[in-house]
Amino acid sequence: MNDKIKKINLNHSFIFFLIINIYSVLSFKLNNFNISVILCLVLILTIGISHGSLDHIKGKKLLISFNIKKTYLLYPIYILVSVLVIAIWILLPSITLITFLFIASFHFGKEDTQFLINDKSYFTQILYFFKGFLIILAPLYFHFQETIEIFKLLLIDNEFFYVSLNFIETNKLIQIGIVCSTLSSIFLFLKKFEIKKFTIFLDYFSILILNYFLSPLVAFTVYFCFLHSIRHSIALSFELDQNDFTNGLGLFIKKALPLTIITCIFSIIALYLLNDSHNLDSAILKIIFIGLASLTFPHILLEYFLEKNE
State how far the Cα of 199 lies from the Cα of 116, in Å rounded to an integer. 9
Determine, yes or no, domain membership for 197: yes
- Tens-digit pLDDT profile for residues 46-83: 999 887 777 877 888 888 877 877 777 788 888 899 99
pLDDT tens-digit readout, 221-263: 999 999 999 998 988 888 888 888 889 989 998 888 888 888 8
Q: Give CA separation, 155 vs 101, 271, 278, 306, in Å.
A: 15, 16, 12, 33
| Residue 35 located in a structural domain | no
pLDDT at 1 over 60: no
Backbone angles phi, psi at 275, to 5 degrees: -65, -15
- Statement: residue 34 has pLDDT above 60: yes
Lowest mean pLDDT among 37-46, 91-100, 301-310: 301-310
Q: Identify whether the C-beta of residue 292 lies closer than 8 Å to the C-beta of residue 220.
A: no
Q: Looking at the domain assignment, is residue 36 inside a domain?
A: no
Is the pTM higher than 0.85? The answer reads: yes
- Which residues, 6 or more positions from 95, have their beta carbon under 8 angstroms from its beta carbon? none
The pLDDT, as a whole number, for residue 310 is: 65
Give a yes or no: residue 163 inside a domain.
yes
Q: What is the pLDDT of residues 103-114, one digit of tens each?
A: 999 999 999 999
Q: Which residue range is the domain that position 164 belongs to?
A: 2-29+41-309
Domains in the chain: how many in total?
1
Q: Residue 115, SS3?
A: coil
pLDDT at 262: 85
Position with higher pLDDT, 149 vs 191:
149
In a domain, 288, yes or no: yes
Helix (H, G, I), strand (E, B) or coil at 91: helix
Burial class of residue 245 in the structure, from the number of CB atoms within 10 Å of its CB (0-12 exposed, 13-18 middle, 19+ buried) = middle
User: What is the average per-residue pLDDT within 182-195?
Assistant: 92
